[in-house]
Structure 1
Amino acid sequence: MKLKFLSTAALALTGMLMNAQEIKFEEYNLPNGMHVILHQDNSAPVVTTGVMYHVGAKDEEVGRSGFAHFFEHLLFEGTKNIKRGDWFKIVSSNGGTNNANTTNDRTYYYETFPSNNLQLGLWMEADRLRQPIINQIGVDTQREVVKEEKRLRMDNQPYGNLLTALQTNLFAKHPYRWTTIGTMEDLNSAKLEEFQDFFKKYYSPNNATLVVAGDFKKDETKKWIEEYYGSIPKGPEVKRTTIKEDPITQAKEVTWNDPNIQLPAYLFSYRVPGSRDKESYALSMLSTYLSNGKSSVLYKKLVDQEKKALEVQAINLGLEDYGIFAFFAIPMGSTSKDVLQKDIDAEIVKLQTNLISDEDYQKLQNIVENQFVNANSSIQGIASSLATYNVLYGDTNLINKQIDIYRSVTKEDLRNAAKKYLNPNQRVIINYLPEKK
């Protein structure tokens, strides 16, 4: 009776997701090259304004790691119309919230206001693009802010440099070999003139996507967009260099020491295709199958049943040019790295040899579809997704179609991805160990 109930619930969930409401939007280009996306939803009196620039850590020069993220901080210093220190005051005093974030591939700024303050949000982002104040006071101030963020989130955090260890050892040529926040040495070396040049190179309307999502009047909003953004001059075309990594054909093992940990961790990592590639979807589903939740394959085996690990995860990090697939495990008690490696490898071999069961496949599809719907369950989430799909995937309508790509991934595709990318000779093993006193 219980199994029948669960099966009925799963079918109901699947039906609900398959009939999820289409997210409607309109998109167009301004004459200066800025891409505009409008998603109108008048069900609640809130609206998000966001601008995503196609620039991230991978666009930095050698010796200037962390530059794009540093610059994101710098653009909150103010404009010719917004005094230094007033940005957050203006937003909060008008009932809004705002934030920004930088990844390896893009930078995103956004505000969410009560809908009667949409004009303010549009004007603020336009003024940030048109005439930001980039001076030495701002550079000196934000340098210390970013350095403290690095200390808190990475250098003084247990396992805080796991991603640093991964990127440093998986990439030899590509700028993905350094993290978004950069190194202290590079942060200290960044100069005012370099920030000013960075702005001229990457912060132009033709390298930006403006998204407005929520409660607004379309004609009025288009008028404001034309008024505030239409006259901003087009910038030079961004010239991007495609850097290719040599394939990993021989296993490598390295050691990384962390002074903030007492228990070792082990990373078994692979360089895989970027997020646009369909195989990346299959790899993402494999990571979900292996370690999403307490009933997942690795957690159930290594943590729950055999008590060999305190923690185990499989992660597929999809970036624009490449991806990272990594297993992460913290051993329980005297469990050795070799034991964890053997058990993880055994699960990989199963995936490479056999198709997963129909039941597991349906469960996996349900999880993926649920995650997809949840990502777009708020106006803020929809705005971010619309901008991301346009900037990094070149197809805004993936906000509606991407779930069909996941649905099209077969059990054979999962097996083939495991066979193609998760082989012992293609990996880097990172022994992430406590620093010896």
Structure 2
Amino acid sequence: MKRRILSAAAVAFVSMMLNAQQIKFEEYKLPNGMHVILHQDNTAPVVTTGVMYHVGAKDEDPGRSGFAHFFEHLLFEGTANIKRGDWFKVVSSNGGTNNANTSNDRTYYYETFPSNNEQLGLWMEAERLRSGVINQIGVDTQREVVKEEKRLRMDNQPYGNIMTALQTNLFSKHPYRWTTIGSMEDLNAAKLEEFQNFYKKYYVPNNAVLVVAGDINPEQTKKWIQEYYGSIPKGTVYPKNYAKEDPITTQKEVTVTDKNIQLPAYVFAYRTPGAKERDAYILNMVSAYLSAGKSSVLYKKLVDEEKKALQVQAFSQGLEDYGIFGFFAIPMGATSKEVLQKDIDAEIKKMQTSMISEEDYQKLQNQFENNFVNSNSSIQGIAHSLVHNYMLMGDTNLINKEIDIYRGITRQDIMNAAKKYLSPNQRVVLNYVPEAK
């Protein structure tokens, strides 16, 4: 009885938190097509200014992979009014931090400053958009930086190229078939003019979203935005007509070697719907049920109890056009791939033929409510959620209502998704094994 009372109290507390954390925002468009999102929160004297561009690895030409990620580095080189090498000095000397990241679908740059330097953050991002310097010294310098990053994060890292191997085999037509860091051969072969053309093509205001979140005065912020961004000329936004993939109807198996590993890893991957689709949310819950935490089904069975796997994980990666659902496993001792595959398939079969328990379902709901609250617990997190939801999900207000999608998912939905997307004939099996000595 006592346990039930505590549980009810916990549910009431979470519900109260969710109702209290409604994120208010305002959005509008500048005449040049740039979308603007403002969020005012005066509880702490900080502000994040960020610009997300609708250009990612999938927008690169074949033979020129890595361009979008390259610009994540290149556009810190300098602008018409920020000297080469001064970007980070300006930010740090004014009490700020900055960063950028690239995905298959977009590139995002942001600064977080004390709120008395909001104007500086807005000006710097406008500089990056209006007059980024793309010259040979910058390209040569950042090419070496990216090479070193690739060596550290991928080429010399155990299992570092496993996603490259997976995407190459899961996609054959769509440009998701290469990863964001791309190929060094492609970057080495590119001419300065190609980098300059990429900047002119994609770094235009109507291909970008500006977000300002934190301790702001909205009316003053709007004046600064108009001053710094309003006169930047509108560009051409090109249609994103990517090749469609044919359905996978027969299991495909490939083997890739890695000189940096001693133990093999096995990936069983499926091509799934893009992140906007309701089924993508359901598959996120399928993934969490199978391997989120030490009490999850696969971890408990294969790692904890039967000691068959050193590591096992289900993952659901939602991209804009497609998704990737997969299982990653490293065997323990002499456990074979066939044994791991059989056990994983057995758990999938259970999900396809019977609904998960009410207790497990409630546990999932609690996990996703907690994730939802935590994702918006900082100004940087709120800024990213707002701009991501507008650009890639088509609904800025998902920052407030995305949890309702998860709440609406039933145990029957989970079973149906497992049936629809996780059949053996719909997958790619990747054997990622040590290179022969």
Q: With the length of structure 2 as denominator, give the TM-score of the two structures.
A: 0.98
- 2:76 corresponds to: 76
SS in 1 for 2:112: strand
Question: Conserved in 1, the CA contact under 8 Å of 2:56 and 2:105?
Answer: yes
Name the structure 2 match of 1:333.
Answer: 333
Contact 1:13 1:366 in 2 (8 A): no
Q: 1:269-288 residue pairs with structure 2 within 5 A?
A: 269-288=269-288
The answer to whether the 8 A contact 1:303-1:309 is kept is yes
1:244 match: 244
Q: Report how far residue 15 of structure 1 moved.
A: 2.5
Deviation by residue 1:115-141 (Cα, 9 ceiling, x = unmatched): 000000000000111111100000000
Contact in 1 for aligned 2:311/2:329 (Cα 8 Å) = yes
Q: Which residue of 2 aligns with 1:221?
A: 221
Instruction: Rate the CA distance shift 1:289–1:97 in 2: closer, same or farther, 3 A.
Output: same
**Pairing of 1:13-412 with structure 2 (within 5 A):** 14-412=14-412
Instruction: State how far apart, in whole Å, the 1-side matches of 2:178 and 2:427 are.
Output: 18
Instruction: Report the Cα offset of residue 186 of structure 1.
Output: 1.0
Match of 1:432 in 2: 432
Give the secondary structure class of the aligned counterpart of 2:85: coil
- Structure 1 ranges of 4+ moved more than 6 A: none
How many Å separate the matches in 2 of 1:143 and 1:9?
Answer: 55
Give secondary structure in 2 for the equivalent of 1:39: strand
Give the Å deviation of 1:250.
Answer: 0.2
Matched position secondary structure for 2:327: strand
Contact kept in structure 2, 1:299 and 1:312, CA below 8 Å:
yes
User: Hey, what's the Cα distance between the residues in 1 that align with 2:46 and 2:70?
Assistant: 30
Q: Mean Cα displacement is larger for which, 36-45 or 368-377?
A: 368-377
Conserved 8 A contact 1:81-1:127: yes
Structure 2 Cα separation of the partners of residues 226 and 11 of structure 1: 45
AA in 1 matched with 2:207: N
How far does residue 3 in structure 1 lie from its aligned partner after superposition?
4.8
TM-score for both structures, normalised by structure 1: 0.98
1:400 Cα shift?
0.6
| CA 363–17 in structure 1, closer or farther in 2 if over 3 Å, else same | farther
Q: Residues 3 and 266 (structure 1 numbering): CA distance in 2 closer, same or farther, change over 3 Å?
A: farther
Q: 1:66-116, CA deviations, whole angstroms, 9 ceiling, x for partnerless residues?
A: 110011211111001000000000000000000000100000000000000
- The 3 A distance-change label for structure 1 pair 5 and 184 is farther
Q: In 2, Cα distance between the equivalents of 1:261 and 1:4?
A: 48
Distance in structure 2 (CA, Å) of the matches to 1:139 and 1:179: 20
Contact in 2 for aligned 1:207/1:238 (Cα 8 Å)? no
Shift of 1:18: 3.9
Q: Distance in 1 between matches of 2:2 and 2:68?
A: 53
Distance (whole Å) between structure 2 residues aligned to residue 177 and residue 10 of structure 1: 44
Contact 2:264/2:434, CA 8 A, preserved across alignment = yes
Q: Distance in 2 between matches of 1:12 and 1:220?
A: 39
8 A Cα contact 1:267 1:429, kept in partner: yes
Distance 1:434 1:10, change over 3 A: farther
Structure 1 unaligned blocks of 5 or more? none
Distance 1:360 1:9, change over 3 A: farther
Deviation at 1:7, TM superposition (A): 3.2
Q: Deviations along 1:199-228, whole A, 9 cap, x unmatched?
A: 111110000000000001111110000000
Q: Deviation at 1:6? A: 6.3
Letter in 2 for 1:256: V
- Larger deviation: 14-23 or 266-275? 14-23
Quick one: which amino acid aligns to residue 349 of structure 1? K
CA distance in 2, matches of 1:392, 1:214: 22
Superposed CA offset, 1:177-211 (max 9, x none): 00000012112112210111111111100000000
1:33 is paired with a residue whose SS is: coil
SS in 1 for 2:383: helix
The Cα shift of 1:11 comes to 2.4
Aligned equivalents of 2:380 and 2:279: distance in 1? 28
SS, match of residue 19 in structure 1: helix
The CA distance in 1 between the partners of 2:390 and 2:30, in whole Å, is 15
Shift of 1:9: 5.9
Count of residue correspondences: 437
The answer to whether the 8 A contact 2:18-2:373 is kept is no
Distance 1:326 1:6 in 2: 36
1:237 Cα deviation from its structure 2 partner: 2.3
- Please tell me whether the aligned partners of residues 175 and 242 of structure 2 are also in contact (alpha carbons under 8 angstroms): no
